Structure 1
Amino acid sequence: MDEKTSTRKSPEFCSLRYGLALIMHFSNFTMITQRVSLSIAIIAMVNSTQQPGLFNNSTERPLAFTFNHSNRTIKEFNTAEVSVYEWSPETQGIIFSSINYGIILTLIPSGYLAGIFGAKQMLGAGLLVSSLLTLFTPLTADFGVILVIVIRTVQGMAQGMAWTGQFTIWAKWAPPLERSKLTSIAGSGSIGCVCCFLWFTVIYDDPLHHPCISIREKEHIVSSLAQQSSSPRRSVPIKSMVRCLPLWAIFTGFFSHFWLCTIIITYLPTYISSVLRVNIRDSGVLSSLPFIAAASCTILGGQLADFLLSRNLLRLITVRKLFSSLGLLLPSLCAVALPFVASSYTTTIILLILIPGTSNLCDSGFIINTLDVAPRYASFLMGISRGFGLIAGIISSTATGFLISQDSVSGWRNVFFLAAAVNMFGLVFYLTFGQAEIQHWAKERTLTRL
């Protein structure tokens, strides 16, 4: 009893596991920044006279005429001998989605290999490569759109390595009652190179081999994970996974979540610029506000989820379904309302801030549900889950470019209505089949000899 009591609690924000979450936070922040920076820069990079789809084609007016009253910054930018590229909305959609192609190529193999060989080297290398390729992206634009797509695809492969291995590390570092909190801190965001230095020097694959961890914290983590102790890895039970409806509920949740999130991440600057008629400088500032809200909601959601679990106020599955419902339903309502409040600048901005903010509540729902149902294969399953999400991102990015190229007003309305419908499908499926118990095929089996 005395031994259990002494390891029940451990200092939190001065502990190594929170330091790990903080470093992961900056790493994820860096990768997200590398993904979305082109979405903002592309407003100035493209030739506006080649984009009739950004506004209602029925007006048959040049885009520059429409922007006369509020877009001086764009005019000044275009007259300052800045390179301009004739990329149509459809081409932009392919550029935006190309990074997802790269991530898909590496998600499953990187997650599987990280579970076998350890995730530290894989994550660090992925972040470093992605950071270096970001530096070369502006140079490749002058050599043609094909090279831009190739660079973005390779960058996606590097980020795919970095994304999935995180759950291998959390399976060994995160006590069950702190998983929502720690993963939400990590996921709420030349920083990339600094993070690489910290990653390779400070991070270890598991707490047992860390030279600086306190005995108290090590015992706290190990004792809390005692029921999920690791055993020699066997072959992955693919057939059991395919037949597991709780896993399909998670995959469907990822697909729905990423559909709307990808639209917001990639097309938010374009939407603000075209619908609200603001200049590039203000578009960049306004585009940052939703991400600040998303980071805040992610952290607060994780804190609240773990609070509800630690106080035994709600069961684990109830917490997962509650936050999944909030993360899919609330942004859908905001998205459906957007086309009807386009004339109101303030209301539009508020809704655009709420969409990614409320959507990130899913981080405490189905996003980390693989750690509940199959902690042994969490990294491998996270790769598959993100693969479903990235497929949704590819489809939604390409579809959005096609829809807004036809007609701006009806195009954006159809984009948001379709996203809300996909979210509702994912929510119903997850509420019906989602579980939080370790599946029978994922349980540890002890071998006995007679």
Structure 2
Amino acid sequence: MSTGADIKITVGDISNDGNLNIAQQQSSRRGFCSFRHGMAFILQLYNFLIYTQQMNLSIAIPAMVNNTAPPSQPNASTEVPSAEFQHYWNETLKGFKAVAPTYDWSPEIQGIILSSLNYGSFLAPIPVGYIAGIFGAKYVVGAGLFISSVLTVFIPLAADAGVTLLIVLRVVQGIAQVMVLTGQFSIWVKWAPPLERTQLTSIAASGAVLGSFIILLVGGLLCQTIGWPYVFYIFGGIGCACCLLCFPLIYSDPMNHPFISTGEKTYIVCSLAQQDCSPGWSLPIKAMIKSLPLWAILVSYFCEHWLFYIIMAYTPTYISSVLQVNLRDSGILSSLPPVVGSICIILGGLLADFLLSRKILRLITIRKLFTAIGVLLPSVILMFLPWVRSSHSITITFLVLCSAGSSLCQAGSLINFLDIAPRYSSFLRGLMQVFAHTAGAISPTTVGFFISQDSEFGWRNVFLLSAAINILGLAFYLIFGSADLQDWAKEQTFIRLSANREMR
């Protein structure tokens, strides 16, 4: 195994001889068998587990309470389907009660329990991202998954103990999940070559959508057959096992990986040699506040996650209440958009890296193009969705297209912060999560307000508002977005160089 000094010499030799392209070509032939792609698939598994633990309560809570029967529809044309649906729902609830306890939670209490996961998440991203950037992301990510998985196993016991303990447990669990979702971006600063950055992060991010797909697909079935507590026992136990098995394989830096080949290590180091990716101990806060490209990313992040949290929280409710589908079938239908979105995230990342590596489009053009498609397509679909609810197939097709379009933003504005300031990636990822969780705290509440005010036109107002917010965020990003390394992201390097010269 080569030492760090050997690697540095090799990097210098490659840079001086102009043979970096040869190293890149040799490493590129490894494809998905490389260790950096292995890291991507491990983090994909981590994200998969985190999102199953995020959404398991959403699919289980109809079985946990005894007053979840949906309201009847006012239209006369739906009277017969509503009666059939109500009968099936009552039979389903009887099955639930036979295998697991139920609780007298009001709709207001249910809303607090579901949203409590974001209370800690709202406060945690910035400090978690900053700590991960300084001390290394391996332990932050591993500890976050383990804590979240253990707490998932204890959710049934907390529910029996009382609502207060359940809410406290969910708050702590939200903080642990932020440790995984935020800390992993510190890993990509050291592991992802610029030409593969979108591809690797897209592979990892696809685990989130895949996790949503699986929990929606099997959650309702588990609740009905063996009881809702097993939704938490099974996915929490899998998380604990995978954390213990995969933790030894994760390394914050390729230089410290004991099994990576010298060729791949050299390729990664050479690819990142032109970037200042080392985390700083201080932050240029004033410069960040004045940076319009950073604000463009943050605004876009907020607007895109406004729709994301609505889809994640209300797709099963929309399908079951508007389309008059029972809980089991609603879970199956709700799982279709996430799985298509997961595939499109990977394909979008591959396409973006192809366009960049072949120099077909500039980096900023790729970011804005994918963001524009990822915003405009879902926005148009949302505006037409209320008028096709009489057709189940068209509605599900529209929801699938909406998820597929939104996933393209992962190769656009959602990854843009690694372009403008890679050295502060963990902190910026945490800052972006604050904006995301803010959107997640507001948008579901807004949906509930619209639906309670007008049951017939509430969904239409929800979709129109979401489309308007998305388009406004896109316009701001297209005007002020940039993919150039910002001056404030280089500032500390210049200060350190000047200080070293003065000391000499």
Task: Give the TM-score normalised by structure 2.
Answer: 0.84
Q: For residues 390 and 279 of structure 2, what CA distance do their matches in structure 1 show?
A: 60
Q: For residues 353 and 179 of structure 1, what CA distance do their matches in structure 2 show?
A: 26
Whether 1:449 and 2:449 are equivalent positions in the alignment is no
Whether 1:17 and 2:36 are equivalent positions in the alignment is yes
Aligned length: 445
User: SS at the partner of 2:84?
Assistant: coil
Larger radius of gyration: 2
1:301 corresponds to which of 331, 338, 348:
348
Query: Are residues 343 and 66 of structure 1, via their aligned partners in 2, closer, same or farther at CA, if it must alter by over 3 Å?
Result: closer
Q: For residues 279 and 202 of structure 2, what CA distance do their matches in structure 1 show?
A: 29
Correspondence for 1:35: 54
1:75 corresponds to which of 90, 102, 106:
90
8 Å Cα contact 1:90-1:398 kept in structure 2: no
Shift of 1:90: 4.3
Correspondence for 2:175: 157
Q: CA RMSD in A?
A: 2.2
User: SS at the partner of 2:31?
Assistant: coil
8 Å Cα contact 1:320-1:364 kept in structure 2: yes
Task: Give runs of aligned pairs for residues 228-243 of structure 1, distance below 5 A.
Answer: 228-231=275-278, 233-243=280-290
Shift of 1:337: 1.5
The one-letter amino acid of 2:89's match is I
Q: For residues 200 and 449 of structure 1, what CA distance do their matches in structure 2 show?
A: 41
Greater shift, 375-384 or 196-205, is seen at 196-205
Correspondence for 1:274: 321
Query: Are residues 392 and 49 of structure 1, via their aligned partners in 2, closer, same or farther at CA, if it must alter by over 3 Å?
Result: closer
The one-letter amino acid of 1:117's match is F
Correspondence for 1:411: 458
1:7 corresponds to which of 23, 36, 43:
23
Same amino acid, percent of matched pairs: 55
Correspondence for 1:208: 255
Task: Give the TM-score normalised by structure 1.
Answer: 0.93
User: SS at the partner of 2:361?
Assistant: coil
Query: Are residues 437 and 278 of structure 1, via their aligned partners in 2, closer, same or farther at CA, if it must alter by over 3 Å?
Result: same
Q: For residues 362 and 232 of structure 1, what CA distance do their matches in structure 2 show?
A: 26
Correspondence for 1:250: 297
Correspondence for 1:265: 312
Q: For residues 420 and 83 of structure 1, what CA distance do their matches in structure 2 show?
A: 40
Whether 1:344 and 2:391 are equivalent positions in the alignment is yes
The one-letter amino acid of 1:136's match is F
Task: Give runs of aligned pairs for residues 82-161 of structure 1, distance below 5 A.
Answer: 82-161=100-179
Whether 1:46 and 2:46 are equivalent positions in the alignment is no
Q: For residues 183 and 49 of structure 1, what CA distance do their matches in structure 2 show?
A: 39
Shift of 1:401: 2.1
8 Å Cα contact 1:324-1:366 kept in structure 2: yes
Task: Give runs of aligned pairs for residues 405-444 of structure 1, distance below 5 A.
Answer: 405-443=452-490, 444=493
User: SS at the partner of 2:390?
Assistant: coil
Q: For residues 383 and 156 of structure 2, what CA distance do their matches in structure 1 show?
A: 35
User: SS at the partner of 2:154?
Assistant: helix
Correspondence for 1:327: 374
Unaligned runs of 5+ in 1: none
Greater shift, 77-86 or 429-438, is seen at 77-86
After superposition, what is the alpha-carbon deviation per residue over 1:358-388, rounded to whole angstroms, capped at 9, x for unaligned?
Answer: 1111110111111100000011001001110
Unaligned runs of 5+ in 2: 1-16, 208-236
After superposition, what is the alpha-carbon deviation per residue over 1:252-275, rounded to whole angstroms, capped at 9, x for unaligned?
Answer: 111011101101111111111111
Q: For residues 84 and 194 of structure 1, what CA distance do their matches in structure 2 show?
A: 29
Query: Are residues 397 and 183 of structure 1, via their aligned partners in 2, closer, same or farther at CA, if it must alter by over 3 Å?
Result: same
Task: Give runs of aligned pairs for residues 317-396 of structure 1, distance below 5 A.
Answer: 317-396=364-443
